[in-house]
Structure 1
Amino acid sequence: MPVTNRKPSLLSRLLRRAIYWIYKRNGWIAVGVVPQPRKFVLVAAPHTSNWDFIYFIGLTEELGIMPHFMAKDSLFKWPVRNFLFDMGGVSIDRKSPQNYVQQMADEFAKRDEFMLTIAPEGSRSNNSKWKTGFYQIALAAKVPFVIGMMDYGKKTGGLGPAIYPSGDYEADMAKVIEFYRDIVPRHPERAVKSITGKEGL
């Protein structure tokens, strides 16, 4: 999982600018501030539409941050390898004796700035509960998780509070529930109904 300092390609820069234009054209406004230091797990929720991804990238452009995401290492091959890195990709070695939680904890340790984005609802396949991988990574890396949101009711997107995991998942999730209480997703009927309990990593 190399840490690359190369300048992003023209293609990736043009793509992000195009996405930012779509985001602004649709009337979105960023709210909140980026926590310091810029090392945290960014919770991307609610996730009920593929448009969430587009608007989220536009939001990060407006906030001036580069979100990272996990992907299996087999995807990082020519001709898309550098493009994936430019867009924030971090490869996961599935053959490693370390699970992906520890691999990401190690990634946090080697970087000065790292904002790892995880959608705990998974693939929008009607999961009954959030997956807890984001929490396990934050706990292992000793970094906070930051609540992200795209509120379709107000056309605002942003970052909520930074929460350091205490190890008591249910208690920490009570804070998250309170934050998301008034957030309106694109398709409310598709939203995961419960974010407590354990659905797996």
Structure 2
Amino acid sequence: MKKYILGISVISSILLSGCATSNSMLKKDESFIKYNNNEHTIGNKENAIKTLTFHKTINGENDYKITFYIDKFPYHKEFNLCTDQSNFKRLKSVTTYKNKKDKLTYEDIAVDCNGYINVFKNKYVKGLSGNYKLKLLNGFNIAKLKGHDMKLESTTIHEVSTTMFEDFAIESKGSNTTKYFWTIK
């Protein structure tokens, strides 16, 4: 009997760094602006021999969908999931003068959503194996710096060093139920 070892280590973190944003891609709440450009396609559908799709749902609603069109094995691809948020000015400091006027100083920031995926056919068991790093932009937290809004990026990193790509789900429960899963066609 073959034993299947599925090593999954999902690392999530929130990184703080800010950006100005495009209104068409963001939905504003009082203290958070949600990033809405959450469907991505990597590769060419016409040349695909397999399609691998990463899904993230919150309370049953789609939050992220990333489709990889695989044209050969082994497959390796590097990508940026938020190129539309690449160069921004973040509020760095506020200097208040005696006349009570504020001087705002900004710094140029690039949102980093760089990731990669490696997929290969497993010669020991039927299916696809590999590893990946997906850096998802959730949106921007709104902080105050001396009364002025400052946007701080919020990202989640999903990084797995070894996995079998199959229809499986990782679920976390709390105030929101979040599911992460892959589908293969």
TM-score w.r.t. length of structure 1: 0.24
**Which structure features the higher share of helix residues?**
1
Mark the structure with the bigger radius of gyration.
Answer: 2
**Which structure features the higher share of strand residues?**
2
TM-score w.r.t. length of structure 2: 0.25
